[in-house]
Every structure is written in structure tokens, then in C-alpha cells.
Amino acid sequence: MQNTLDNTSDIKASKPPRRHDLDWIRVLATFAVIIFHTMRMFDPDDWEVKNNMTSDLVMIFIFFWAQWMMPIFFTISGASTYYALGFRSPIQFLKARTVRIMVPLLTVGIFVLSLPQDYINKVTHGVIPPDFPIMEFISMYVTQNKPFLGFPYFGYPTYHLWYLYFLFVFSLVLLPIFVYLKSESGTALIARISNLFNRSWTIYLWVIPICVITTLLDPTTDLGNLNYYGGWSLPVYPIIFIMGFLLVSHERFEKAVHAQGKIALVFSIITYLGLMIMFIVLGDEIFGTYGTPIYALLMSLRAFSMWCFMIAILYLGKKYFSYTSPRLQYFSEGSLPYYMLHQTIIVIIGYQIAQWHIGILPKWILLVITTFIGIMVIYEYGIRRFNPIRFLFGLKPLKK
């Protein structure tokens, strides 16, 4: 039996040609986030599990990944939303989002993948002793949290799966805007807006709302905290989500990305290196105090750097990855399970090797290799081949 996502009898239009470049970017970004989280064990900031040795040098790579990693996920999600609403009604879109995102989050996400992370997190932070009975912890985890209530995660910890929750929330809240923009009057509005950006360099002006948000939000609050949500304040992401939708909504915007791609790549590298050099030489003090002009200037520069990364990545994807292959089809289908599995595996393996007396580099290489092997084995032999498990990870059923 075909899944709802495959039911084409009530689809309002034929599917547009597949944007393979967006698929490639999503797959490569998934690999990047896996690498990013293997490094979190070795940086000096707090995380679920920490190595017996950490290094400030790791922060250079952490900062680089954080500049573009989660923003590109939301950019691609916005672009995918544009194409999805081209052949799905709003109700079909929400059904697909629910099956793809909320079913995995509310089943294996919370009760299988977050649970061991929560256990190890509490052990390493001294909340519970290392010999705390696992069955007692499971009972405590299920009963002390409020199931399906509370904000923002239904009362349960989600760790890296916060992305899935907010992707669904943004999709739900912004859907009326997207539906309007896909209508005839909305399309005309986009065309009029595009006239304001008739020169390719004006694509950089899109970053202004992000600059405003990043400078106004207090980083000591939950909304403004840069550590909670992949290196950026939470309200930045719905703006990027909308921008991803708009970037593919008009030919003029896509031409601007193509025209400015190489320049944006140079800008992104120069601004990142500048920020990193200042951080290394001057430390955290370079960002000054929240509310000061130097803070606003540097946070705006960081936002500009991030937006340049978005333009450059989209340009490179369109130029070099506009093709399909069996490898892309395999990894594109598995990108969500890969994302869901990765941090749990990293934390479990990291907890086992954290006290080994070997150098940071060989331990990190070991962690990367074992993590990828674990993900691939679990996906191939525990998820991909079984329709009930595929459903729990947001995948379409295999055709008989």
C-alpha cells in the first residue's frame, strides 16, 4: 500500500523537476553536522560528554562549522517548502511534515535516542552516580517528564533533535505566509519585490533583518543564547527559513546567487578569518558587552559572513552538484535517519573512550570512524529494510 506521501490522486499539480543540488547540499550538511558533533567532545565548552583532555584550538573548527551549518539546513528547508507547495495542498503539506518530522521525533527521537543521551549527560554532570540503575532512570525519565505537554519539547529533552521540532513549528506557523506567496497575488508581490533587487549585489541586503535580530537579542536569555541552537539565536532561523523560500521563488534571485556566488565565497572566508583572528588574539572580549556599538558591529559582521556562506554554498551546489546518482538517492533517503542517530552514537561511544589516555587527534579519528560505521550499520540493517521502522524514521515504505 502506498504511503500518503506517495498518493498522487489528490495532488494539486505535477511535481516540478527535482533540484538535485539541494539534495546534495542536505546530504553534505548532514555529514558536516556529524563531524561537528564529534568535535564537541574535545572543545572546552560544556557538552553532554567531555574528553579527559580538551583544547582551545578545537574552537576554531567549532566556530567555522557554527557559522553556516544549521543556517544552511533551514535555508534548504525553506527552498524545499517552496517546491513542495507547488504540488501539494496546505493540508497535504502538513500531513507530509507530520509523518516526516513529528512521528520520528515523538517516538524514537524522544524515547530511544534522547534517553541514553540524557542518562550520560546526567552522569557526566554529577546529577546521578555512574552506577545509577538504568531501569530506574528509564522510569524516572518517562514519569518525571510531562508527556506531550509543556513548551517547547513536550516536556522531554531532545538534544540535537531540537531542529526537527522547530522545523515543524516554523512550517506550521509560516504556512499561511507561504501559501499566500504561492498564490497569484503572492507571486505578483514577489515579482514587484524582485524589482527592488534588480542588481545582483543587492542580495547582500537580505542580511539586514538577521543583523538586527542578532544585535538586539540578549545572549544571556534563552532566545538569544548562541549555544542552545547550533551557534545562532533561535529567532534567526525562521528568517533564514523564509529567505530560503524566497531565494528559489523568482528567477532574479537565483541569478543573483549565481552572479555573486564566487564573490560571496571570498567574503565568507575573509570575514570568517577576520573574526577568528580577532577571537584568537583578543579572546571573548572582542565581542564587548551586549548593547554596545562594538557588540552590534561584530555580531552584524558575523551575520554578514553567515549570509555569504549561504550564497556561496547555494552557488557551488547549483554549479557542481546538479546531477543525480544512486549514491545521492541512497544518502538523500537516509539523511534524516543519519541525522537522528548520529549524536546518540557519538555520546555513547564518547562516554566509553573519554578517559582513555591517548591524544586528542587519534581519539577524535577513532570517534569519527566508529560513529559513521555505527550509523551506516544501524541504518542499513536496522532501519532501511523494514517498513515499520522506516515509518518511525520518517521514510516512505518500500514498494513490494
Q: Name the residue with higher pLDDT: 377 or 12.
A: 377
pLDDT at position 181 over 70: yes
High-pLDDT (> 90) share of the chain, % = 77
Dmax (CA) for the chain in angstroms is 65
The confidence score (pLDDT) of residue 3 equals 39
Residue 289 near residue 222, CB atoms below 8 Å: no
pLDDT at position 2 over 50: no
In angstroms, what is the C-alpha Rg of the chain? 22
Task: Taking residues 351-379, report their average pLDDT.
Answer: 97
Task: Taking residues 243-253, report their average pLDDT.
Answer: 96
Computed over every residue of the chain, the mean pLDDT equals: 90
The confidence score (pLDDT) of residue 11 equals 43
pLDDT at position 201 over 50: yes
The confidence score (pLDDT) of residue 220 equals 82
Task: Indicate the pLDDT class of residue 157, thresholds 50, 70 and 90.
Answer: confident
pLDDT at position 37 over 90: yes
The confidence score (pLDDT) of residue 286 equals 58
The confidence score (pLDDT) of residue 10 equals 43
pLDDT at position 224 over 90: no
Domain positions in the chain are 1-6+19-56+88-161+324-400
Distance CA 120, CA 108 (A): 18
The confidence score (pLDDT) of residue 182 equals 95
pLDDT at position 1 over 50: no
Distance CA 81, CA 93 (A): 9
Q: Name the residue with higher pLDDT: 83 or 149.
A: 83
Q: Which of 7-11, 28-32, 257-261, 298-302 shows the lowest per-residue confidence on average (mean pLDDT)?
A: 7-11
Nearest CA-CA partner of 308 in 68, 76, 48: 68
High-pLDDT (> 70) share of the chain, % = 92
pLDDT at position 279 over 80: no
Q: Which three cell numbers stand for residue 75?
A: 535555508
